[in-house]
Each structure stands twice: as C-alpha cells, then as structure tokens.
C-alpha cells in the first residue's frame, strides 16, 4: 500500500493536481486545468523561394447543412479554393459538412493557406502526412479568429488516405465534432500501375457518429462521462449524411474508409458474411490483399477495401454493419450502465453503417491484383534501442488521462521523448495502471486499473510505423477474443488500437525532420484531456 500511496503522491505533485484536488472542481476539469497554457508562435508568411505545384486556400467557418429531415444543422466546415494545380486536387462532397476531398500526388510541392473563419483559435493537422514539424499543425501554430497560416511542404508519402482536421490545444474534439474534417488522398506511380478502380468506382466512406437535439442541432459533451469515455453519438453518419445508401454497378469498387468519429470504435463486416478484402490501411497499400471476416476500425484509422459486387443481381443489397464486441469500455462503466444512458447505440452493439444497392448490371470488372505494393520492412535488429523500447504508458483514472505519467505540456520532454534524427525506434505501448507513470506495467492489474481500463487508439505524428507484436493479459483474453481477428498488421500504420490489457510493439522511423512531433490518444476527448505527449526529434 505504501508504494502505491507514494507513487500516487508523486503523481499528484508532478501533474499539479495536488492543490486542485481540494478545490471541489469536477475531476475532468481539474485534469484540464492542470495543463499549462499553450504558448503560440506567430503565424508565418509564404516563402517566396518555395515553388509550389499546387496552391489553395483552405477556409474553416460556421455553416449550415441539411442532415436530418427538417431544420438545417449548424456546423463548422472546411471549404477550399484552388489557386494553382490540377483541378482534381479539390473535390467537394455535395451537401456534406465534410471538407472537400484533397488529392495530392507524391512529389508535389504544396502551399496551403489556412484562413480561420471561426470565432476561436484553430490550426489544421495533416494526419498521416510526413511533413516538417512546423508544417504539421502543432497547436503552438494555432491562429486567432480572422488569422491566416501558410503551410508549405513536399508530398513525401506513398499513396494512401490521410485526414485533415483541427488540432488546437484542448479544443480538437469539439471542432472535429462540429464538422471540421476531411479526407486527403495521396497518389503515386506504384498505385497508378495497379489500375485500381478510380473515379465513380472509388468511394470515400467517412464514418462518424453524432447526436442531435429536437431542433436537429448537434449535442456534444453533457457530463464528465462523455469526456472520460469519449463522446458517442447515437446516429451513424457516412460522409456527413444519415441512413446512407450507395448505389453501385455489378463490378469491383474501391472503398476508402475512414473512422472520423471522436471516440467510437467499429467492427466492420458485410451483413451476408462476405469477407472484407483489405488492400490498404493508414499508411497505404498492403503488399498483398488480406481477407478478413471483420475489421476493427478505431478513430483515426483508415481502411482501403476492395469490394467486388460482380455477379450480384440488380436490386440486391448488402449492408456494412458494426458487429457486436466487448471490452473496449471500462467494465465499471459498463457495469453501471453509464454507456447506456441516453444512448440508443451502445458501443459494441450490432448496428448498420451503410447500405449498398446494386442498381446496374455490367459485364466488365477489374481484377484484384495479387501483388499490390512493396515497401521497406523494419526489423528489430535495425532499431537504435533494441533493449530499451520507448515507452508509451497509458494511464486512465477518474482524475486524468495520461501518457507516460504526465498530462500534455509543451516543452516538457522526458529523456526517452528525445529522439535522435534518422533513427528507427522500437516503441512499446502498454497500460500503466493507477496513474503511476511509465516503467510500471499493468501486469497484475490493480482492481482500479482493471475496472477503469479501456481501449485507446494511439496515434503518432510523422512517419508511419510497423506493428511488430501484440500481446494481451490473460484477464482480458475473453473480451479480446471478440476483436482479435480484426487487426491488420501487415501494413504501415499511424494509429493503433490498444485494447485493455494489451501491449503493442511497433517500430517507427524518425527521418528527415527535426522538431516536435506529437503522440496521443485519438479518442479526441482523451486527447483534449491531456492524453497527449510529444517527441523532440533532434
């Protein structure tokens, strides 16, 4: 007991919670108060020596869209105007609050001028892109209402689906929830050679959940559980619309799926038992297709799916569902029925996401390539720290959501958060229970730890990583059974779902750019509560 108390005291002092604990504030506010103010760097101007191939203005501002029947819904929305480059660079999604689809080619030099038309500070992050630290949308670059921010970078990524979304200090979740997000595709030659379905045969599927009040307006966080567990809406939207049905021809399609929800985790499967053919994940195409009976998709993760409707008759329907699973929420919360309150769509229940209807019969369909791509594999023998993985210790308590024992604070690098440029690092993500900080693995799981533990999609900014191994504690093994076949380890990732009791080893490169790169939980409420830290690459 003594050790726990000491550790707890140390934790309280470190995180500044000691004093606040006396003040009677709700604990979720205490956790947020404990974070330091974010210093800001003055907005930069365009660099005249940067010769952009593609240039556009990106606006974020309040808007209204029709989502449900009846009144329009007030949202925040991205829009863009192309100033230079191919006109396919920007494609609006009609009557959606989602931002335009951005399509970039590997090797392009891109200049984007962000205009903040919100009444609050904001900054945009290119989730998945490997760009210089100053161009990554770190909250220290946030701009005030009316301000502008210039981004200039070369597209180094391989082909893949990425996301752009706001990343301001403590306000990411709310701005995303209100509508600010969009898909950003990178294309390259390796992908082009495959002649995968394009144009109308390549369909973006951005899955989000939202709650609406009687006036069709968005409802957001109502109480501390909505923050602690993340916010779950009771209505599934696809590309910003409700009850979506996609009309297709009887041929192969490429579905580019993104979980753009704040917190909700999906277990995707076709309702008739057709397996899901996965051709890519966060960091682009796999080496070869993987066929899965279901796929888990956590916030921030992407999935590239080959969906072949050939041979299906006109009028036939197929539904993509989220199947039942257990264990992603704290058992305590589930036991107390917290998740059930005012929510008709419990996490882990079985519900439809969108419908596909075959409306046209065609005889011609592309064939699925047996070999998709090749990319470098990382090996433990090549990492800079084979014996000493960089820890990412997850700890959750009613007091605070932490990584490596600390809430987010700028310029607060612990020794292992300083990374040498151009190294490969072995990283271990695991649960450290009781807020004791890094270095102590959950192992036996204290009573509190076990009950509070939940799943966290951990996202690392910068280059994509490779998953090396996963292991789960025996206490959590039966819940884990309900999700374990839904993970894809053969591709490059930037977000990985870490289940309760699970520990995941990854290898991540830190090449090309020095500076500050964040890592955090992509349960956006958790991120805003401070479950975020950063690496200093030097």
Contacts of 94 (CB under 8 A, 6+ apart): none
Q: Which of 289, 330, 523, 533 binds Cu ion (CB under 5 A)?
A: 523
Give the Cα separation of 72 and 433 in Å (integer).
Answer: 44
Smaller CB distance to Cu ion: residue 278 or 504?
Answer: 504
CA distance 21 to 18: 6
**Cα separations (Å) of 52 from 110, 127, 158?**
5, 21, 19
What is the CB neighbour count within 10 angstroms for residue 159?
A: 23
Q: What is the rounded distance in angstroms from the CA atom of residue 80 to the CA atom of residue 90?
A: 7
Binding site partner of 526, from ligand C2O, Cu ion, none, Cβ cut-off 5-8 A by kind: Cu ion
Which secondary structure element, helix H or strand E, spans residue 275, and what is its range? none
Which CB, 167 or 476, lies closer to ligand C2O? 167
Question: Pairing relation of β-strands 515-521 and 456-460?
Answer: antiparallel
Residues 504-533 that bind ligand C2O (CB under 6 A): 518, 520, 522
**Separation between Cα atoms, residue 499 and residue 514, nearest integer Å:** 31
Taken in order 205, 208, 209, 214, is the CA torsion positive or negative? negative
Burial 87-101 (b: 16+ CB within 10 A, else e): eebbeebeebbbbbb
Q: In whole angstroms, what is the distance from residue 472 CA to residue 505 CA?
A: 12
Closest CB 321 distance from Cu ion, rounded Å: 24
Q: What is the DSSP letter of 201?
A: G
Euclidean distance between CA atoms 432 and 396, whole angstroms: 8
182 vs 501, beta carbon nearer ligand C2O:
182
Shortest distance, CB of residue 157 to Cu ion, whole angstroms? Answer: 25
Which partner in Cu ion, ligand C2O, none is near 125 (CB below 5 to 8 A by kind)? ligand C2O
Tokens of 145: 């209402």
Residues touching ligand C2O, count (CB under 6 A): 11
Site track 160-189 with ligand C2O (rule: CB under 6 A), x = hit: ---x-x-x----------------------
**Helices (H) then strands (E): counts for the chain:** 10, 33
Stretches 182-190, 346-354, 454-462, 503-511: which one binds Cu ion (CB under 5 A)?
454-462
Interaction of residue 300 with ligand C2O, rule CB under 6 A: yes
Which residue number has the CB closest to ligand C2O? 127
Report if residue 130 touches ligand C2O, rule: CB under 6 A. Answer: no
Told to check if 459 binds ligand C2O by CB under 6 A, we report yes
The C-alpha atoms of residue 27 and residue 467 are separated, in whole angstroms, by: 35
- The three-state secondary structure class of 525 is helix
Asked if 115 is part of the footprint of Cu ion (rule: CB under 5 A), the reply reads no
CB of 371 to ligand C2O, least distance (A): 30
Contact mark string toward Cu ion, 456..495, x via CB under 5 A: x---------------------------------------
Residue 470 in the binding site for ligand C2O (CB under 6 A)? no
Residue 520, binding choice from ligand C2O, Cu ion, none, Cβ under 5 to 8 Å by partner class: ligand C2O
Residue 223's contacts (CB-CB under 8 Å, 6 or more residues apart) are: none
Does 521 contact Cu ion by CB under 5 A?
Answer: yes
Minimum gap (Å) between residue 93 Cβ and ligand C2O: 19
Q: Out of ligand C2O, Cu ion, none, which partner does residue 456 contact, by CB within 5 to 8 A per kind?
A: Cu ion
Could you say which of ligand C2O, Cu ion, none residue 227 binds, taking C-beta under 5 to 8 angstroms by partner kind?
Answer: none
Residues found near Cu ion in the complex (CB under 5 A): 456, 521, 523, 526
Residues found near ligand C2O in the complex (CB under 6 A): 125, 127, 163, 165, 167, 300, 459, 461, 518, 520, 522
């Amino acid at each position: 007991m003594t050790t726990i108390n000491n550790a707890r005291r140390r934790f309280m002092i470190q995180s500044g919670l000691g004093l606040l604990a006396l003040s009677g504030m709700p604990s979720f506010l205490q956790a947020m108060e404990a974070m330091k103010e974010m210093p800001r760097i003055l907005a930069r101007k365009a660099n005249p020596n940067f010769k952009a191939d593609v240039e556009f203005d990106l606006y974020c501002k309040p808007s209204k869209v029709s989502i449900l029947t009846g009144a329009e819904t007030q949202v925040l929305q991205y829009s863009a105007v192309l100033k230079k480059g191919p006109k396919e660079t920007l494609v609006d999604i009609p009557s959606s609050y989602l931002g335009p689809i951005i399509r970039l080619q590997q090797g392009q030099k891109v200049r984007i001028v962000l205009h903040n038309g919100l009444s609050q500070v904001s900054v945009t992050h290119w989730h998945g892109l490997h760009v210089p630290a100053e161009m990554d949308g770190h909250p220290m670059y946030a701009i005030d209402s009316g301000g502008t921010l210039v981004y200039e970078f070369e597209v180094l990524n391989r082909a893949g689906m990425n996301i752009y979304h706001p990343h301001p200090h403590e306000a990411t979740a709310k701005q995303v929830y209100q509508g600010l997000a969009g898909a950003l595709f990178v294309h390259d030659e390796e992908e082009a050679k495959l002649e995968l379905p394009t144009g109308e045969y390549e369909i973006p599927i951005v899955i989000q959940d939202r709650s609406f009040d009687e006036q069709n307006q968005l409802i957001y966080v109502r109480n501390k559980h909505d923050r602690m567990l993340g916010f779950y809406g009771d209505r599934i939207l696809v590309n910003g619309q409700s009850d979506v049905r996609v009309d297709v021809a009887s041929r192969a399609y490429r579905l580019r799926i993104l979980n753009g929800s704040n917190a909700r985790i999906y277990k995707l499967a076709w309702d008739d038992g057709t397996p899901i053919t996965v051709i890519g994940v966060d960091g682009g195409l796999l080496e070869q297709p993987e066929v899965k009976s279901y796929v888990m998709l956590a916030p921030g993760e992407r999935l590239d799916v080959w969906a072949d409707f050939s041979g299906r008759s006109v009028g036939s329907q197929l539904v993509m569902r989220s199947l039942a699973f257990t264990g992603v929420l704290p058992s305590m919360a589930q036991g107390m029925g917290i998740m059930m309150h005012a929510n008709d769509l419990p996490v882990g229940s079985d519900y439809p996401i969108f419908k596909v209807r075959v409306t046209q019969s065609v005889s011609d369909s592309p064939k699925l390539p047996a070999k998709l791509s090749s990319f470098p594999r990382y090996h433990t023998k090549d990492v800079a720290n084979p014996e000493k993985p960089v820890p990412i210790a997850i700890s959750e308590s009613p007091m605070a959501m932490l990584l490596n024992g600390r809430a987010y604070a700028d310029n607060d690098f612990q020794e292992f958060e300083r990374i040498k440029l151009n190294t490969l690092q072995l990283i271990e993500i695991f649960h450290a229970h009781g807020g004791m900080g890094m270095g102590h693995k959950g192992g036996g799981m204290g009573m509190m730890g076990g009950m509070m533990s939940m799943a966290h999609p951990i996202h690392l900014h910068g280059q994509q990583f490779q998953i090396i191994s996963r292991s789960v504690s025996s206490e959590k093994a039966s819940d884990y059974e309900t999700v374990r076949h839904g993970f894809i380890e053969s591709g490059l990732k930037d977000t990985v779902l870490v289940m309760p009791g699970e520990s995941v080893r990854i290898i991540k490169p830190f090449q090309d750019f020095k500076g500050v790169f964040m890592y955090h939980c992509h349960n956006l409420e958790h991120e805003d509560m401070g479950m975020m830290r950063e690496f200093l690459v030097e």
